[in-house]
Amino acid sequence: MGSVPFSNIQWHAEVTSTNDVAGRLAERGVPEGAVVAADAQSAGRGRHGRVWVSPPGAGLYVSLVLRPRAEAAPLLTIAAGVALSDAIQAATGLSCALKWPNDLYVGGRKLAGILAEAGAAPDGTPHVVLGFGINVLPAAFSPDIAARATSLEGELGRAIDRHALLRACLDALAARYADVQEGRVGTVLDAWRARAATLLRRPIEWQQGGRPRRGVAETIDGSGALLVRTEQGVVRVISGEVRWI
Ligand code: BTN
């Protein structure tokens, strides 16, 4: 199986959400690897129903159409986090930490996020839209977000070439997607663990069945679940959000 090149790129001035546009293309049967990017999103969304603030030119807002094997699907966002952290390092020199499952952090503040959405065409053919947003300019944030978010230009103190960054992201995503599609799962998991090292083995809190739970985040298992040591034993966290305490 060859890697998907991500060379069919549509660039829009403004869309509601690049995930919406990519989802419609996928439903109409566009070949795997189509890329939708936009300068701005009027209804950008994040995980857990949050808004992803997307003013013109302030970030990279990009979605890919993928058709993964069923076994590869659970690891897509883990692989994408590794790919984006590698691409940002290669294109800008900035090193990011990964926070489970797939947020990119610099100095304790969020730089980028990933939103994977599964769907199907009317004939039942399944697809996944993998969207990612990278903050490029610091000006994008309202004061409440500014305390928790950071941006590439804010960190680096210089302008970056966003087209070169996009190309680096697409190349790294193609390589990591090939890893999960072709069964090189261990390579992806080890790369994720190395990039998450500073955030692992620390006490965390998360919600389970509406109740807060606490433990120490140890590592991820072979399907990308977070393994947390608690007083009752090791717990697998498969979805939701964790908070470092
Ligand atoms: C998160 O961390 O909550 C995920 C954020 C994902 C944002 C990107 S921007 C491009 C794509 N389109 C969207 O509406 N969301 C994703």
Tokens of 65: 């159409």
Amino acid 140: pLDDT: 64
* Sign, CA torsion 173/175/181/184: negative
Ligand 1 contact, 135 CB (< 6 A): no
Ligand 1 contact, 110 CB (< 6 A): no
- Among residues 118, 100, 178, 165, the alpha carbon closest in space to that of 137 is found at 165
φ, ψ (nearest 5 deg) of residue 241: -130, 140
Q: What topology is assigned to 200-244 in CATH?
A: SH3 type barrels. (2.30.30)
Ligand 1 contact, 201 CB (< 6 A): no
206, 217 Cβ separation under 8 angstroms: no
Ligand 1 contact, 63 CB (< 6 A): yes
Ligand 1 contact, 52 CB (< 6 A): yes
Ligand 1 contact, 45 CB (< 6 A): yes
Selecting from 3.30.930.10, 3.30.450.40, 3.30.750.24, 3.30.70.60, what CATH number does the domain 9-195 have?
A: 3.30.930.10
Domain range list for the chain? 9-195, 200-244
Amino acid 161: pLDDT: 95
Quick one: which atom of ligand 1 is closest to the CA of 132?
8
CA of 221 to the centre of ligand 1 (A): 25
* Length reported for the chain: 245
Ligand 1 contact, 117 CB (< 6 A): no
154, 139 Cβ separation under 8 angstroms: no
CA of 131 to the centre of ligand 1 (A): 5
pLDDT in tens, the chain (245 residues): 457 889 999 999 999 999 999 999 999 999 999 999 999 999 999 998 999 999 999 999 999 999 999 999 989 999 999 999 999 999 999 999 999 998 999 999 999 999 999 999 999 999 999 999 999 998 767 777 788 899 999 999 999 999 999 999 999 999 999 999 999 999 999 999 999 988 899 999 999 988 999 999 999 999 999 999 999 999 999 988 899 88
CA of 62 to the centre of ligand 1 (A): 8
